[in-house]
Amino acid sequence: MGPDQIFLFYYKLFQLKVFRKIIISFLITGGIMAIAAAILGRIYEDELTQYVVSGLNKQIRTEAQVDDVRLSFLRKFPDASLELKNVVILSVHNTDTLLQAKRLYLRFNVAKLLKRQYMIREIHVHSGMMNLLVDQRGNTNYVFWNREKGHDAENFLLDIGNLKLTNIDLNYENRAMDMAIRGNIRKSTFKGNFSREEYSLTTAIEGIMYHYSKKGNQYFQDQKISSSASLYVNPQTIEILSGDLNLAGQHLAVKGNIIRPRPLEYNLLLASTHLDLDRVLRFNLLKNMKIPGDMKAGGDITFQASISGMASKTQMPKIDASFSLDGGWLKASAIPYGIRELRTEGHYTNGNRQGPESTRILLSNTSLLYGNSRLGGNYEIVNLINPRINYTIKAELDLADIPSLISGDSTFREMNGMLYAEVNISGTQKPLAKVEKSELLKHQYDARIRLEGVNLGLSFKSIQLRNLTGELTFKDHLMIKSLNGSIEGIEVSLSGRADNLLEFLFTNNGNLWLDSDIYVSKADLNNLPSWKRNIEHNSGTDTISLPDRLFIKTTYWIDELLIRKFHASQMTGELVYKPRRLSIPRLSLHSMQGQIETEGMLEQQRNNQFLVKSISKVRDIDITRVFTSFGNFGQDFIMDKHIRGELSGEVNFSAGLDEKMKIKKETILADCDIVIQDGELSGFEPMRKLSRFIDVKELEDIKFSTLTNQVFIRNEEVIIPKMDINSSAFDITGSGIHGFDKNFTYKVKVSLSELLSKKAKKPDQRESEFGVIEDDGLGRVFIYLVIEGSDRGTEVRYDRRGAMQNIRDQFREEKKELREILNEEFGFFKKDTTLSGAKEDDKATRFILDWEEDSVSSNKTDSLRRNNKSDQERFTIVWDDEEESDTVKVEEKKRWRKKKK
């Protein structure tokens, strides 16, 4: 072993002995001090404890309750420690509990304590609850230390260098500012020499914020919170050298100063970069917004704010804040395509009055992309008490993106095309969180909308709107400058204006006024899908109700209209709608080679049934086309192949409809003045039936130049009054009734002389048998026939009653005329009242003209002409005293005179 090694060995041994002595010395000293502390604690514990508790009660302005108090010189050695168990401190006004703690530790200076001076150097509150309250007047419940100086106060000194709170539930409510905070302080420390006028202070807090709300709006829920700060404090200023707040994973840097004394004046700067949009939306925004649970978001937010001005329990300093968002995106099941390319710039200030009434919130240069649609604009809100808004919305919408956002709305089955809009909205909006319809009426609007190639498929009646293109503006009213497109394949051009639109949409009693012009080049309803479906599947089960709050005035032009076999052109007119009443003041169209003009109305009555009225004038209408166009009016008695001619006239029509808008046949009333020019009745079966009585070939094809009559419809019957038909075959006087049940009765009067002359021209055996029969001097004689029929067939027979009524009228006229002559020539019958217009006795003698058509050989024809007696035998007058009602009136009055040979 060398000298160096020997020296090193003894040196280490010496160090070990010294270290051992030091350790032993410390242990001996510590043991002595511990024994001394135990002896002192035992000697002075009761006295010191009683004195400290008594002194605390004198310094506290409120009542304090403690279960147990223990003094220890070892726990916080070399200082003394006073442990208070189950401490309860009531609020200043004893209205509730200010502090409740399982343990409260007070640390005292031992040297001062032995001199009966109690210098508190540290306070530690552990496991408890703290309730801090500020009422509406700004009064607090947590200022409980007695600031008054006295003998006892001089013995109680605060030289706190450390204030600790661990596991404390905190409830803070400021009713003056309508703010509430609930949380748990897991650990907090405040270190500094608080007893000096100038000192440095470091703080650290860790905990959880359960709830933070302001003015009824909830922010942050169950979020971790931590903060740290380094401050320099003097009597005039609290300077924040550095500060950091971490809430919900977001960092916020703070620096500035606070000028004292109260009220405090703040000059603070806050800044944060790279805030996460998802956390901001999920934790920092209003809980009332009900952010979807499956929502995910991203984006980078930069935030800056300044707080300046005085602040007190009832006053806020001025706050100015700005932020920007770039690269934002949102995803959720409620927004299937997601929001991307979200960016905006924002600014907030509480204004020169540092309150909600002067608050201004602005979002500018906002833009987002949803699907193929872009939405952006500027949004401003001023005054949160009576909010005023100013929105500028710009949109380029691909309508194919919209159905994904309104999946619960079944109005549209299909939607695509582009909509470009720029909308300015300004006005008041209260409250902001919930938009009321009535508030929307107070806004001012200025909107410009442009449609390009818009296609809409409506669920109602499966209506298809195609290629809608046009411009609309809205200010005080909606103006449709030009809107073109097709409805179910029909090209339509629309222009006009709508007034009171917002009141109609947002209130229950607002009326909509619409004034429009509509142009249609060709309307072919036969190719209209919804029209076909209505015809094929019309069950008539839907009750129809006309709207109550709608007023419409429309002028329309239709170049061509096709409905089944009906064809019209050059159609123009007006339509006016008032609640429960639709009227057409004017309608003119060219159809069926003629002109039609009409006016009418449809009105819904109180029982929800309808009344329809119309007046129509027709001129030079092809009657064949009328029957063809309207499907022969659903009957096969007389059809388009039977009748020809030009129809003119006027029709007054009215009818009742039930609540399903089906015509009630029993209510139909019509008065028709008609004129048929150049008419022809061809192949008409009832006229063919006349051949059994009147063997005339012309009955197959009857032509007439003019037919004038007035036709009535009532009680489900078409009533045709007596009319004269001057036809190519012979002149006929006829009338009749045709029921809706297809039962009909027609009465016909034919001149016997015309009939005989027609027969005389026929090359058959009866011509050689009868020859030409001249007038026998008794005047003209007529044959009366009845044509009756139903859907089972037609029957023709003689009308005896009609003939008797005609002869009775002739006798009455002859008798009256003869008496007038005798009265004038000879003064006879002066007392006869019939000469003064009195009525004839209804029991006038009746007779029947019976045509006996015996089979006679042709070689006796000439003898009939020469033999009047034979003629008298053929024309036999049979008297009939029975009363028979007449159903066919004779138009012309005929005189019957008997000539003597």
> Worst-scoring range by mean pLDDT, 78-92, 411-425, 736-750, 792-806?
792-806
In this predicted structure, the answer to whether residue 551 has a pLDDT above a threshold of 80 is yes
CA–CA gap between residue 569 and residue 558 (Å, rounded): 7
In a domain, residue 612? The reply is: no
In a domain, residue 684? The reply is: no
CA–CA gap between residue 821 and residue 835 (Å, rounded): 10
Tokens 């006349």 -> residue: 690
- Per-residue pLDDT tens digits for 402-450: 887 776 666 778 889 999 999 999 988 776 666 777 778 888 999 999 9
Q: For a pLDDT cut of 90, what percent of the chain falls above it?
A: 27
Q: Is 404 left (phi over 0), alpha (psi -120 to 50) or beta?
A: alpha
Q: Which of 191-200, 561-570, 799-808 has the highest mean pLDDT?
A: 561-570
Which pairs with CB-CB distance under 8 Å and at least 24 residues apart come from 658-666? 658/609, 658/610, 659/543, 659/544, 659/545, 659/607, 659/608, 659/609, 659/610, 660/540, 660/541, 660/542, 660/543, 660/544, 661/544, 661/610, 662/540, 665/716, 665/740, 666/715, 666/716
Query: Span 299-324, mean pLDDT?
Result: 89
Query: Span 864-886, mean pLDDT?
Result: 38
Query: Span 283-304, mean pLDDT?
Result: 74
In a domain, residue 722? The reply is: yes
CA–CA gap between residue 790 and residue 786 (Å, rounded): 14
In a domain, residue 771? The reply is: yes
- Per-residue pLDDT tens digits for 663-714: 888 998 988 888 888 878 777 666 666 655 555 565 667 777 788 888 888 8
The CA-based dihedral angle spanning residues 578, 580, 586, 592, taken in that order and rounded to the nearest 10 degrees: 150
In terms of Cβ atoms closer than 10 Å to its own Cβ (0-12, 13-18, 19+), residue 584 is: middle
Domains held by the chain: number? 1
Secondary-structure percent of the chain, ordered helix, strand, coil, rounded to 5:
20, 50, 25
- Say what the pLDDT of residue 70 is: 80
- Per-residue pLDDT tens digits for 599-616: 999 999 988 899 999 999
- Say what the pLDDT of residue 885 is: 38
Query: Span 890-894, mean pLDDT?
Result: 35
In this predicted structure, the answer to whether residue 55 has a pLDDT above a threshold of 50 is yes
Phi, psi for residue 277 in degrees, rounded to 5 = -60, -40
Please, what is the average pLDDT of the chain?
77
- Say what the pLDDT of residue 692 is: 58
- Say what the pLDDT of residue 777 is: 41
Query: Span 516-534, mean pLDDT?
Result: 78
DSSP reduced 3-state for 889: coil
In this predicted structure, the answer to whether residue 764 has a pLDDT above a threshold of 50 is no
CA–CA gap between residue 275 and residue 324 (Å, rounded): 10
CA–CA gap between residue 791 and residue 92 (Å, rounded): 106
Of 458, 502, 495, 491, nearest to 479 by C-alpha is 495
Check residues 96 and 165 and name the one with the higher pLDDT.
165
In a domain, residue 635? The reply is: no
Check residues 314 and 612 and name the one with the higher pLDDT.
612
In terms of Cβ atoms closer than 10 Å to its own Cβ (0-12, 13-18, 19+), residue 754 is: middle
Query: Span 814-835, mean pLDDT?
Result: 59
- Say what the pLDDT of residue 128 is: 93
Which residues have C-beta within 8 Å of that of residue 577, sequence separation ≥ 6? Answer: 550, 551, 552, 553, 583
In a domain, residue 299? The reply is: no
Read off the pLDDT band of 869 (50, 70, 90).
very low
Number of C-beta neighbours around residue 399 at 10 A: 20
CA–CA gap between residue 468 and residue 150 (Å, rounded): 90
Q: Which of 19-23, 351-355, 465-469, 896-900 has the highest mean pLDDT?
A: 465-469
- Say what the pLDDT of residue 146 is: 63
CA–CA gap between residue 496 and residue 480 (Å, rounded): 5
In a domain, residue 565? The reply is: no
Query: Span 191-203, mean pLDDT?
Result: 83
Two tokens at 901?
Answer: 């040979």
- Say what the pLDDT of residue 705 is: 79
Number of C-beta neighbours around residue 620 at 10 A: 12
What DSSP letter does each residue of 448-501 carry, written as one string?
EEEEEEEEEEESGGG-EEEEEEEEEEESSSEEEEEEEEEETTEEEEEEEEEESH
User: 858 lies in which domain range?
Assistant: 716-901
- Say what the pLDDT of residue 199 is: 86
Query: Span 124-147, mean pLDDT?
Result: 80
- Say what the pLDDT of residue 1 is: 55
CA–CA gap between residue 280 and residue 292 (Å, rounded): 14
In this predicted structure, the answer to whether residue 779 has a pLDDT above a threshold of 70 is no
Check residues 437 and 898 and name the one with the higher pLDDT.
437
- Per-residue pLDDT tens digits for 703-743: 777 888 888 888 888 888 888 777 666 677 888 888 888 88
Read off the pLDDT band of 514 (50, 70, 90).
very high
Tokens 């309150």 -> residue: 355
In this predicted structure, the answer to whether residue 52 has a pLDDT above a threshold of 90 is no
CB environment 191-222: b (16+ within 10 A), e (fewer): bbebeeeeeebebebbbebbbbbeeeeebbee
Check residues 793 and 47 and name the one with the higher pLDDT.
793
Query: Span 171-189, mean pLDDT?
Result: 89
- Say what the pLDDT of residue 761 is: 46
In this predicted structure, the answer to whether residue 575 has a pLDDT above a threshold of 90 is yes
Q: For a pLDDT cut of 70, what percent of the chain falls above it?
A: 67
CA–CA gap between residue 702 and residue 402 (Å, rounded): 68
CA–CA gap between residue 79 and residue 119 (Å, rounded): 10
Read off the pLDDT band of 836 (50, 70, 90).
low
Which residues have C-beta within 8 Å of that of residue 18, sequence separation ≥ 6? Answer: none
In a domain, residue 865? The reply is: yes
In this predicted structure, the answer to whether residue 587 has a pLDDT above a threshold of 90 is yes
CA–CA gap between residue 679 and residue 645 (Å, rounded): 4
Query: Span 616-640, mean pLDDT?
Result: 78
